[in-house]
Amino acid sequence: MLSNGFQHTLDYAKQMDKEDTLRCYREEFYLKPNSIYMDGNSLGLLSKRAERTLLESLEDWKEHGIDGWTQGNHPWFFMAEKLGAKIAQLVGASPEEVIVTGSTTVNLHQLVATFYKPEGMRTKILADELTFPTDIYALQSQLRTHGYDPETDLIRVKSRDGRFLEEDDIIEAMTDDIAIIVLPTVLYRSGQILDMKRLTDEAHKRGIVIGFDGCHSIGAIPHSFSEWGVDFAYWCNYKHLNGGPGGVGGLYVNRKHFGTMPGLAGWFGSKKDKQFDMEHILTPAESAGAYQIGTPHVLSCAPLIGSLEMFIEAGIEKIREKSLKINQYLIDLIEHELKDMGFFIGTPREDVRRGGHVSLEHKEAARICKALKENGVIPDFRAPNIIRLAPVALYTSYAEIWEVVQILKKIMTEKQYEKFKNEREVVA
C-alpha cells in the first residue's frame, strides 16, 4: 500500500482507469501502438477534433478563397478573439483580456515593449535564474534596445537549491530600482508552481508591473489572472493544450491596462471596425486584441479550435484533479519500485506547488531517456540530469504509468542504459 491509498499493482491501476471520469477523452487522441507518450509538457498529441477543425479550415480556404475571412466554418477575421474567449475560461480572465496570437517570445517582446517604462531610478528588470532561456534572451534584448546593460540591469533571483524558487527571495529582490517583473507560472524543469497571487500583491505594493510566462501551466492548472490582478501573461498553446507543433501562442492583458498603446504596433491590433479604413494612425482595439501585431496564422490556429472544445467540456478543475492524482501515482510508484537506483524526485510534493509533470533526476539521465525510447516510452530530457515525465489528464492512463515505472526498473536492473552515450540528442 502506498501513500494516499495508492497500491503498486497493475490491477489497482486498471481499477483507477475504470473510475477515471475523463477516460472517454483518451479515445479522442491519436495514440501510437506499443508506445507510451510521456512528453505532453513539451508537445501535446494530435486529437481527432484538432485534425477535424484544421481540415475544416483548409476546406474554408478551398471553398471560399478570400471570403474565408468572413465566411465558412471558422471565419478568420475574428478567429483570434474567439479562441481567446475560450482560453479565458482556463486562465481566469474575461474574454476581452485574452487573445491568441504570435508566439511565446514574440508575445513577451510585445508585452515588455509595452509595459517596461524605465524612469528615474526604476530601470531594472527582475526575473529568475531558473526560467526558460528564451525569456532571458528577450529581456536582455529589450534592455539593450533601451540602452541598458543586461549584465547590471537584468536581475535574476537565485535558487537556493537549483530546483526551486522561494517567494520570499523574489519579494526581497523587489527593490526600488525594479521597473517590471517577469516570472514563470510553473518552472519548466522542476514543475514548481509559484504563488502568483502573493507575488502580484507584493509587486503592486511596490508600484511594480508584473507578468508571467504560462507555457508550462496553461491547460494543466487553473489560473485566476484577473482576480489576482496580474498585469500580463503569455504562453504557447502546443504543450498541455495540444494545439500543434509551433502553434500560435496567447497573451493576457489585465483590462486596467486597456488603452495602453502597444509597444510593437501592427495592423491586426486595430479596432476591428477601423482596421480596413487603412489609415496611417492606429486605432487600437479596446481589448487584448490591441497587442496583436500581424495577421493570424490561421492554419496554426485551426487545430486549437478542436482541442479547446475538449478543455471546455471537461473543465480545467477536473483536468487538474486527475493531473494531481496521476502524477502522485507516478511519484509513489517511483518511490516504491526504484529505491536505491540513484533517482531523485526534483518536483514539489505539495499539490499546491506541483504543476503537470514530474522531474526525475539521475546522473545517467540522458542514457536512461534513450533506453526508455528504445522500450517504447517517450520521455523528455533536460540537461544535465533531468528526465521529465508528464502524464496528461486527457489521454494518459494509470496502467501506462504503472508500465512506465516497470520499464524504468527493468532498464536499471539490466543496465540497458549503458549502451548509450550520456549526452542529449540534437532535440532533447
Is 9 marked as binding a ligand? no
Whose cell is 508528464? That residue is: 390
Model confidence over 10-52: pLDDT tens digits? 999 999 999 999 999 999 999 999 999 999 999 999 999 999 9
User: Residue 304's domain spans which residues?
Assistant: 51-313
Is 267 marked as binding a ligand? yes
Helices (H), 159-233: 167-172, 196-205, 225-228
Is 133 marked as binding a ligand? yes
SS3 (DSSP) at 126: strand
Confidence of residue 424 (pLDDT cuts 50, 70, 90): confident
Q: Which three cell numbers stand for residue 23?
A: 477516460
**Would you list the DSSP string of 275-334?**
GGG--SS--B-SSGGGG--S---HHHHHHHHHHHHHHHHH-HHHHHHHHHHHHHHHHHHH
End of a domain among 297, 313, 329? Answer: 313
Q: Which three cell numbers stand for residue 421?
A: 552515450
Flag whether 351 is in a domain.
Answer: yes
End of a domain among 291, 313, 335? Answer: 313
Is 135 marked as binding a ligand? yes
Model confidence over 353-390: pLDDT tens digits? 999 999 999 999 999 999 999 999 999 999 999 999 99
Q: Is the pTM of this model over 0.85?
A: yes
Q: Are residues 116 and 160 in the same domain?
A: yes
**Per-residue pLDDT averaged across 103-117, rounded?**
98
Q: Are residues 257 and 400 in the same domain?
A: no
Flag whether 340 is in a domain.
Answer: yes
The CA dihedral of 21, 346, 381, 41, to the nearest 10 degrees, is 30
**Per-residue pLDDT averaged across 329-342, rounded?**
96
Quote the strand ranges of 122-278, DSSP E: 124-128, 154-157, 178-184, 209-213, 232-235, 250-253
Q: Are residues 379 and 305 in the same domain?
A: no
The terminus-to-terminus CA distance of the chain in angstroms comes to 35
Compute the distance between CA of residue 87 and CA of residue 401 in angstroms, rounded to an integer: 29
> For the domain that residue 152 is a member of, what is the CATH number?
3.40.640.10
Q: Which three cell numbers stand for residue 253?
A: 492583458
Compute the distance between CA of residue 140 and CA of residue 136 in angstroms, rounded to an integer: 6
Is 213 marked as binding a ligand? yes
Read off the DSSP letter of residue 407: H
Q: Are residues 273 and 361 in the same domain?
A: no
**Per-residue pLDDT averaged across 106-135, rounded?**
98
> For the domain that residue 352 is a member of, what is the CATH number?
3.90.1150.10
Count of the separate structural domains present in the chain: 2
Is 114 marked as binding a ligand? no
End of a domain among 288, 313, 338? Answer: 313
Residue 428 has pLDDT above 70, yes or no: no
Q: Are residues 244 and 346 in the same domain?
A: no
